[in-house]
A and B are shown apart, each in its own frame.
Chain A
Amino acid sequence: MSESLVKIENIRAYYKLKNREVKAVDNVSFEIMENEIIGVVGESGCGKSTLSNVLLNNIIKPLTIVGGRVLFKSNGEYVEISSLTREEVRERFWGKEMSLIPQSAMNALMPTIKLSKYVEHLAQSHGIPKNELLKKARKRFEDVDLDPQWLNRYPFELSGGMRQRAVIAIATLLNPQLLIADEPTSALDVVNQKVFLKILLEMKRQGIVKSIIFVTHDIATIRQIADRMLVMYAGKIMEISPVDKIVEKPLNPYTEGLLNSVLTPEPEIKKRGITTIPGTPPNLIEPPSGCRFHPRCPKAMSVCKEKEPKLVEIEPQRKVACFLYSEERA
C-alpha cells in the first residue's frame, strides 16, 4: 500500500468579491496517493481549475482559502502548504516538487526566445548548471519523441502537437513528484491526444513523475489514463472511485448523467444512445440548499433539498455523496 503524496482536508476556497462569495471549492477532502493518476471531471464552472490552483497554492486575490488545509509530502514529511504564502510555495515547490501543464499548453512557451535559452533561464532560476539541465532536456526531448534539434528552435517553428510534447518535457525537467495537467488535451486533435496520454503514462512508469492529477471535462480521456476518477459538481466532490468501477456502475446520478452524455464503445450504450443532463450548473454565489445537484437530479428525494449528503465510503475505495446510498434517507 503506497502512501499519500497530497492530503486535501476540508478545503474551502472562495472567490471573495465585494459583498459576495463564489464558493468555487467548498469543503473538499481527498488524497492523492503516490504512483497514481487521478482524473478530475465535471462540467465547466464546477471548480476544477480552482482545485488545481489550490493544489499549487496559486492563490491570487480574489481567490482566498477560507478553511481546511493541503498537506504535501516532501522529503518524507508532510508540509502544510496551504499555510505558506504563494511566494514561499513557489520558491520551494514549483517546478521541483510540483509542476503544471496549463490549459492550452500550445501557447505556454515563451514565444520570442529559443527553447534552449528557456531551459537555460530555468536552470539559472533554480541554481543548476546550465549544461546539466540542457543535457537533461535533450534526453527528455527524446523521451517525448522529439528530436533534440528542436531545442535550438523557436516555439512558433514547432507544430501544435510538438509544442505540447515540448511543454511536457520542460514541465518534467526537474522530476516533480506531482504533475497537474489542467485540461491539457482540449486543444489537440485525437491522434495528438493519444500520443500525449501515452507520454504521460510513460513518464509515470519511468518514475519521472510520481503522481498526476488530470483535470478535464472529457471523460473518455480519463478512462484511458486515470486510476481513480473524481467527479466534481458545483464545488463539491460527488463521487470518487477507481475508474473501472465507476464506469461499470456509477453510483451518483450526476456521474451517471456525465457518463451517459458521452459515446463509449460498450454495445448497450451504443444501443441506448447519448443523453444529456438537463439544466446548467448552479450559480456558486448562492448554491442550492441540501445536495447541490438536486434541482437537476432525476432521482431527487425530499431529503435532498434539506440536507447535504456527506461523502461516505460505501464500498472499499468507493466514496459517494448521495442519499440514495445513505441510511439517512427517509
Chain B
Amino acid sequence: MISKQMLKFIGRRLIFLLITYIVATTIVFILPRVIPGNPLNQILSRLSQVAQANPEQIRAAEKTLMEQFAFDKPWYVQYFDFLGNALKGDLGTSVSYYPRKVLDLVIPVLPWTLLLLLPATIVAWFLGNSLGALAAYRRNSWIDKGVLTTSLIVSQIPYYWLGMIFIFFFGVKLGILPVGGAYSQGSFPNWSWSFVLDVLKHYILPFASIVVSAMGGWAIGMRLMVIYELGNDYVRFSEALGMNDKRIYKYVFRNSLLPQITGLALSLGGALGGALITEIIFNYPGTGFLLFRALTSLDYPLIQGIFVILIASIYLANFIVDFIYAVIDPRIRLGQEE
C-alpha cells in the first residue's frame, strides 16, 4: 500500500518537522528567561529560613548552585548545552524539586495528561463532526436547528468555566462524582478493578468538560462544510446518474472531513493548553499541574523539559494526522510531484 510517492511525502514531512521542532525548542528556551526573577531565589530563601545560615554561606551556596545549573554562563552556551543534552535524553535537574531530574518528574505525570487530552479531543472531534454532518443533511429540520443553537452556545463557553460548573453541580450539589484528583486520596496506582473504576469516576468530569466545550466548534464547522459540499457539481451529477443517497452522503462526508482533519491537527496544541488549565481546576496530577508549579517557581529546566516533551508529542500527533490526510486525499499525496 505504501508507494514510493508516499515515502517521499513522509520524508519531506519529517524534515519539515525537525526544523519546526528546533525553532519551537528555541522559543521554549528563551521565553522563561524573559520572565523577570531569579529561579534560585526560592531555594535560597528556604535555605536561609531552615538553616539560619549567615549571608556568606548563602552566597557560597548560590555560587555552587549557579555553577551546577550553569546559569552563570552566557546564554548561548546554556542554549547549546540544553540542545545537546536534550538530544542525549538529559533534560537537566529541576530547581524547585532539587535534586530530582526533570525527566523523572515529567515521565510519571505524562500518561495522565495524554489519557485526558487525546481521548477527549478525538471524541469531541468525532461527535462534533457527526452531529454537524447530520444537521447539514437534514437542513432546516428541528435536528439542524437544535444542533446549531446548542453548538453556538456551548462553543462559546470557556472550558474552565464549564469545568467549574460541572464540579459545582455534579460534585458539590449532587455529590455523585468526585470534585478533583485522578484517583481517591490514599490509594496507589495499580491495575485492580476497584482502582480502575475509581480512576474512571474521577475521569468523567474533566473529560466531559473538554468534550462538551470543544464539540460545538466542530459541529458548526462541519455543518457548513457539508452544506457547501452538497451544493457541489459532483453531488448533482451523482444524483442524476441514480447513485444512491447513502453513497452520495459518504462522498460528501469524506470530502467535508478533509479540512476538519487539518483542523484537528491545528487544534491539538490549543487543546493541550486547555487540558493544562482543566488539570489545575480538577487538581488532576498531569503535566499541566506540574507546569503550573514550575512556572510559579521559575524552574527553567523543568519548564523547558515539559515543553520539549509536550511539543514532541504534539508533533508526533500532527505527523500522524498528516499521514492520515495523505491517505484519504489523493490530491495531497500525488499533487506534490510538481
- List residues of chain A with CB under 8 Å of any chain B CB: 56, 58, 90-91, 93-96, 99-100, 102-105, 107-114, 121-122, 124-126, 154, 156-157, 167, 170-171, 173-174
Contact = CB atoms under 8 A, between A and B. Distances in A.
A102 B247 contact: no
Interface in B287-338: 328-331, 334-335
Q: List the 4 closest pairs (A to B, CB-CB), nearest first.
A: A95-B242, A100-B240, A108-B237, A95-B241
Contact of A96 (B237, B238, B242, B247): B242
B237 to A, nearest CB: 4
Nearest to B331: A156
A93 B330 CA distance: 33
Query: Which label, helix, strand, loop or mixed, suits the secondary structure of the B interface?
Result: helix
A126 B242 contact: yes
A124 B331 contact: no
A127 to B, nearest CB: 10
Contacts of A114: 330
B45 interface: no
Q: Which of A102, A103, A110, A113 has the most CB of B within 10 A?
A: A110
A9 B238 CA distance: 28
A60 to B, nearest CB: 10
A108 B247 contact: no
B99 to A, nearest CB: 56
B251 to A, nearest CB: 5
Interface stretch (B7-15, B19-27, B165-173, B228-236): B228-236
B331 A99 contact: no
13 contacts: A58-B240, A91-B242, A94-B240, A94-B242, A99-B241, A108-B233, A108-B234, A109-B234, A109-B237, A110-B234, A111-B255, A170-B241, A173-B241
Given A103-B233, A108-B236, A154 B331 contact: yes
A154 B236 contact: no
Contacts of A103: 233
B239 interface: yes
B330 A90 contact: no
A94 B245 CA distance: 13
Interface size class of B (residues with CB under 8 A): 20 to 34
Contacts of A154: 330-331, 334
Nearest to A124: B247
B254 interface: yes
B49 interface: no
Contacts of A124: 244, 247
B243 interface: yes
Contacts of A58: 239-240
Contacts of A108: 233-234, 236-237
Interface in B208-235: 232-234
A170 B237 CA distance: 10
Nearest to B242: A95
A48 to B, nearest CB: 16
Given A103-B233, A110-B251, A111-B255, A90 B242 contact: yes
B237 A112 contact: no
B329 A167 contact: no
Contact of A125 (B233, B242, B328, B335): B242
A108 B234 CA distance: 4
B234 A111 contact: yes
A170 B233 CA distance: 14
Interface string B15-55: 00000000000000000000000000000000000000000
